[in-house]
């Protein structure tokens, strides 16, 4: 199956299940549920969900067992974007081509919507129809990836980096490995865990994820300089406006592209070495380099 067709199928499956898992019902909490759905549904490439489902299938998994876990990942990703956009963080008014959650619903509701998505994600995966030990391992993997030594820690480091006039490439790499890469790594690991993969496959999935996660952030940095608000669906030039240290400021645009391409080639080699079949995961690496939003 062609890559974009497969990616669309993963996205459609995830979107339908997300809609089912977070229905809009009449209740005293309806406004915050609406805000949660506003940021969760109707947008995004669902790359993290696709990675989890693709690794699950590549390791021999079948059926819909992994789908709730993929949805939990997307809930957490949506929560992180809501909080990233808040005035106290990146202060962005636009996300996926529409007003950010705090612009549409107010800061207090947006903050609670993010908290709600984070909590609901674990409710969903811990009630999934899956072998209990694999569920616990996957939940532990996710919790570790998004905590103070993972995604949240990366955001703390990113904010601290804004106050520094010169950030080393190594510190930038460490920051992005947590802020962006940790959730991507969790997606790949969880797919393997849920399918009962061996350590060789799990190790290769981690290595692949670390490389594509860094490449994804480098591409984001490039797009912030080269894309338009209409194409990207969020404000461009914000990194420069906030005087952020990025891979573009370290390498320049062409140097950053070359670094991203190198990482993605290395990621594809990890797949070959571990014997992962199929083209989707390899093609996804190419997609990261070529994406426009």
HSE (side-chain half, CA atoms, 13 Å) at 30: 5
Question: Token digits for 248?
Answer: 């573009």
User: For residues 90 and 169, what is the distance between their CA atoms, to the nearest angstrom?
Assistant: 21
Domain that holds residue 69: 3-290
Between CA 255 and CA 5 the distance in angstroms is: 31
Residue owning tokens 């509701």: 109
Q: pLDDT at position 242, please?
A: 61
Here the CATH number for the domain that contains residue 86 is 1.10.600.10
Tell me what pLDDT residue 195 has: 97
pLDDT classification of 41: cutoffs 50, 70, 90? very high
Q: Residue 100: pLDDT band by 50, 70, 90 thresholds?
A: very high
pLDDT tens figures, 187-246: 999 999 999 999 999 999 999 999 999 999 999 889 988 877 767 666 666 666 666 778
pLDDT for the residue 239 = 62
Query: Tell me, what's the pLDDT at 241?
Result: 62
How far is it, in rounded angstroms, from Cα 281 to Cα 169? 27
Q: What is the pLDDT of residue 106?
A: 97
Q: What is the average per-residue pLDDT within 105-115?
A: 98
Q: How many domains does the chain have?
A: 1
More confident call, 97 vs 71: 71
pLDDT of residue 247: 87
Q: What's the predicted TM-score (pTM) here?
A: 0.93
- Report, as an integer, the average pLDDT of 155-179: 87
- Number of DSSP helices (H) and strands (E) in the chain, helices first: 16, 2
How does 126-158 read in b/e, with b if 16+ C-beta sit within 10 Å? Answer: eebebeeebbeebbebbeebbeeebbbbbbebb
**The pLDDT value given to residue 39:** 97
State residue 208's pLDDT score. 96
């Amino acid at each position: 199956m062609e890559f974009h067709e497969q990616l669309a199928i993963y996205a459609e499956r995830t979107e339908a299940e997300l809609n089912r898992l977070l229905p809009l019902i009449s209740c005293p909490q309806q406004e915050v549920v609406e805000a949660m759905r506003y940021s969760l549904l109707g947008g995004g490439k669902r790359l993290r969900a696709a990675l989890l489902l693709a690794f699950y299938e590549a390791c021999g998994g079948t059926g819909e067992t992994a789908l709730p876990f993929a949805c939990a990942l997307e809930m957490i990703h949506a929560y992180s974007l809501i909080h990233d956009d808040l005035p106290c963080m990146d202060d962005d008014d636009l996300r996926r081509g529409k007003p950010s959650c705090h612009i549409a619903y107010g800061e207090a509701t947006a903050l609670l919507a993010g908290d709600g998505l984070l909590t609901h994600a674990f409710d969903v995966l811990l009630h999934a129809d899956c072998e209990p030990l694999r569920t616990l391992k996957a939940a532990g993997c996710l919790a570790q990836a998004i905590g103070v030594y993972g995604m949240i820690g990366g955001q703390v480091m990113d904010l601290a980096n804004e106050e520094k006039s010169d950030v080393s490439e190594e510190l930038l790499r460490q920051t992005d490995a947590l802020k962006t890469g940790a959730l991507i790594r969790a997606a790949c690991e969880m797919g393997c865990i849920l399918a009962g993969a061996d350590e060789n496959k799990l190790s290769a999935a981690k290595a692949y994820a670390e490389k594509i996660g860094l490449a994804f952030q480098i591409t984001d940095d490039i797009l912030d300089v080269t894309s338009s608000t209409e194409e990207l669906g969020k404000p461009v030039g914000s990194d420069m406006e906030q005087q952020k240290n990025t891979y573009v400021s370290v390498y320049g645009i062409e140097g950053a592209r070359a670094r991203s391409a190198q990482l993605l080639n290395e990621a594809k080699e990890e797949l070959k070495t571990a014997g992962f079949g199929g083209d989707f995961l390899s093609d996804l690496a190419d997609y990261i380099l070529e994406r426009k939003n």
